Structure 1
Amino acid sequence: MKSNLAYLHSYKQRLAFISVSVAIIALSIYFNFFQKTENPEFSKLTFSETKTEILPLNIAKFNPNTLSTEEWKALGFSEKQVATILKYKEIVGGAFTSKNQLKKCYAISEEKFSQLEAYILLTDEAGKKQNFKQNKWVKKELIISGKFNPDLYSEADWVKMGFSERQAAGILKYKNYLGGSFVSKEKFKECYMINEENYAKMSPFLLLPSKTPADFNPYKKNYAKEKRIIKYQNFDPNLLDFEAWKKLGFSDKQVQNILNYKERFLKGSFKTLDDVSRCYMISPEKFEEMKPFIKLNPDNFAVNNVVNSNVEMPKQKTDFAKIDLNKITFQQLKEFGFSDRAAASYLAFRKKLGGFSTKDQILKTYNIDKELTQKLIQMSTLSPLIAEK
């Protein structure tokens, strides 16, 4: 009986030991086989803190509109990010107009923008427009489409860029003071109509030398050169032929228009100094130079529209005193002195209105020379709303 009990007790111990061993082996197989099978790369995963891109130590202020692909990459952007930024620039019109507009590009994170913001040569959106109810003044943002030579810009071009008409006139007056050229970026910056902010925006686009020549003298460039070439003597403008007018410093086109003016509007003769001064091809400065030497002799006045035989007669073309401003053609506008661009703008605006109803409307035409247009509308007639559509 005792022997049977001892055997039973020993059997239970062995059974318990075997059960525990099986359980241990099963757990070992589970953790070493099944877990690795579910995620074999699990043991390779590592965790690290996000690394912030550090800006180059030599970073300088920049205009994002002028950066090349390589320059964007030098700021820490990937090739894909740069492509996105440039694509976004095209979508917004080819140029970023403010910092806030640039910030909206999804390829530039908020953290990255905060690092670059102090170096960006653009205004904030908040400073772009400032409305005042009392005088309704609005600060315009400059629109710069690309590199340009400011010497070639007309008043209309400066207005199109974002300056007021008064500012545009002031810029041209300053250029004339310098002798007809801004000469350098240094001199351009000194223009009293261009503030620091606007100069910073335009500077990368200016096709001008950075430095002013050491021997630059605005007064000398304005007057001395011309006075050395032109030695004025007393003359009667009614006796001057084509070449004689050219020797006074006028271009071929200017001379032709002076002769046209004399024949069409003065019936063949300058009879007073005012007749000469009102010629739209003779500037006030040029007239003051010539004035002391002009000697008008009544014996040389045209009779029945026939002038002295020494005068070269231009071909008969248009009598602008008989032209209707709602019927004037492209070629006639060019004959009067309009550029191709101005003549096209005139006709386009007239067509849009269905014909001019007042002469004042004509002066609102975009891209025209207002002084030249003023002379045209004084000479010509206007029959309202009869333009050919």
Structure 2
Amino acid sequence: MRKNDYRKLAFMGILLIILLAFQHYTGREKENFPEVQFIMENSVLTTLTDFNPNDLDSKQWEQLGFSEKQASTILKYKEMVGGNFISKEQLKKCYAVSPEKFAALESYLLLPETAENTYLKKSGSYEKSGIIVREKFNPDRLTAAGWMKMGFSEKQAAAIIKYKNYLGGSFISKEKLKECFIISSENYNRLEPYVLLPLTTPAGFKNRAENKPEKSKIHYRVFDPNILDSEGWKALGFSERQANTIINYRDRNLRGSFKSPEDLEKCFVISPEKFQELKPYIKLSFDPHKNQETDFSKTDLNAITFKQLIEFGLDERSAASLLGFRKKLGGFVNKQQILDTYNIDKDLVQKLISIAQLNTSNVSKYNLTDAPEEWLRNHPYFKYSADKIIFYRTSYSDDAKIWKLLKLKPEYETRMKLYMKAP
């Protein structure tokens, strides 16, 4: 009986302790726990300012809310497209950037919306144009050195400054800047997002030349701008300085000949109104098919020489770009590739390819399984996938399997298959 009594007593003691502990816990004041905030992994910083995505490293992409893996993917994609993003449209195509993320960043991106002919050939890879802008700027404040720093040549920079002075010392608007013949449409598209000028010219604006007192009415006669000297241009109402500028433009920029009235129209010292006055009297002596040693209808674009390109009318820079691109490719496979060459007169080249032939019989083509490693690493279409191709073909002897493993974008695969043997 005594043993049972002890057990009951112990049980009652334990029960009492439990009751006291429960009373103490329920009697405590309610504690204020810190508020829990959940942070989305890919949230975008709210203090964004305008930025150029080409300047960002992996850590900076992560600061914008991307994961380490996403940041790495973005940088690899940038290398695949030539080392620089050249438009918002191009960045948007990166699969690591979701539509929602792109929408949040879009208004801060210092890139043009779109870009035509975005790829150019340089040192064996596709890169963006030599014109580089990294921050917004007022073109009125740029010296010739400033334009050269962007990538324009010394002569181009000097011509841009002259054009600004012709306008009265200010470009006034983006519209007027676009009219500068030295700045191609492609380069203007790259500059435009950064230019701190109004979009359009204020109503009633007249350039410095237009503000001069009206001269006596000129009696125009038919004239050939290709043989007109300084006195001849002055007789048409131009100052001595303007006359010399037109002659220099003809002899240096156009290599001695206006090929069409539109070439004359592009000379910045000739206003649109003045050109309309001159147009009915223009009679060009230039004939692109006269006095030529080469019959371009029988010329192979994969064998055309530097001298022949100059003979057709291309300047030295355009001719060198075309031949350099052809050499790296190992030959053109279709004429569109020629038009995609950077830094060429596309209108003139379009005329050339419409006349000339393209013989592709000597262009080297391979299978993925037998293409030489050096060829894969140097060819502009294959160089970014060369290591993967070389690795995969150690295990697979089927081109179709390797293509599947590469997981390329359709446009890249289509471009590469131009240089593949027919199955």
Normalised TM-score (structure 2): 0.35
Q: Give the greater-gyration-radius structure (CA).
A: 1
